[in-house]
Amino acid sequence: MGSFVRNIIDTLKRTPTSKSTASRMDNLDALLRAEDQNASMMEIETFVDELSSYGRRMDRLTEPQKRLVYVTSLVADVMNGGFNQYYSNGYGCYAHQAVDALQEIGALKTAHIVRQANELLPDKHVPLDQSAREDIVLRIDEDLQLWESLDTQFFAYPDDINALFIEYIKKHRSEF
């Protein structure tokens, strides 16, 4: 058998053929044992982001993987531009799920802050439509003190989210 055919066969053996194999990380155990939890979380997050086509295919994810997306997108947006950025961006539609995910992993202080931010929205409801969220954010931005207080509380990073997520993933490792 020629090397070309052998390379194709090797590639096919490594190529996932089903959701169950495609949605699992080969090096998860090593990442969960690593001392650098931030680097481990970045690698796990990248894997899940790619698996979901960066949020466009959430149907490809397990529930624990979705929780990771809800929380990591929240943290990235709020740390980058505050709650107004989070609600204005694409992942803002998952604000209620982010609260549930934070509670699930044990980040109760952070969940409380996000719940307070959600409660600033009309009817305490986060619209799925991004343009509707943007309009609401523009109206709330008129009273920046509300956002600034919650942003400041969030920036204090009251829960070690990476450490909590590592423990959560250990409990749900078969779904990663």
Q: Examine residue 170 and state whether it is found in any structural domain, yes or no.
A: yes
- List, for residues 42-100, the tens digit of each pLDDT value: 999 999 999 999 999 999 999 999 999 999 999 999 999 999 899 999 999 999 999 99
Task: Give the residue, 111 or 138, on which the prediction is more confident.
Answer: 111
pLDDT at 29: 94
Q: Examine residue 10 and state whether it is found in any structural domain, yes or no.
A: no
Sign of the torsion formed by the C-alpha atoms of 18, 20, 26 and 31: positive
Q: Indicate which CATH number applies to the domain containing 48.
A: 1.20.1420.60
Host domain of residue 54: 26-175
Q: Examine residue 14 and state whether it is found in any structural domain, yes or no.
A: no
pLDDT at 138: 82
Q: Examine residue 125 and state whether it is found in any structural domain, yes or no.
A: yes
- List, for residues 116-129, the tens digit of each pLDDT value: 999 988 888 898 99
Total number of domains constituting the chain: 1
Q: Would you call 10 helix, strand, or coil by DSSP? A: helix
CA angle 3, 9, 12 (to 5 degrees): 140
Task: Give the residue, 25 or 155, on which the prediction is more confident.
Answer: 155
- List, for residues 103-112, the tens digit of each pLDDT value: 999 999 999 9
Sign of the torsion formed by the C-alpha atoms of 175, 37, 150 and 116: positive
Residues present in the chain in total: 176
Q: Examine residue 16 and state whether it is found in any structural domain, yes or no.
A: no
Look up the pTM and report it. 0.82
Report phi then psi at 116, rounded to 5.
Answer: -60, -40
Q: Examine residue 54 and state whether it is found in any structural domain, yes or no.
A: yes
b/e per residue 86-118 (b: at least 16 CB within 10 A): bbbbebbbbbebbbebbebbbbeebbbbbbbbb
Q: Examine residue 2 and state whether it is found in any structural domain, yes or no.
A: no
Please report which confidence band the pLDDT of residue 145 belongs to, taking 50, 70 and 90 as the band edges.
confident
Q: Examine residue 17 and state whether it is found in any structural domain, yes or no.
A: no
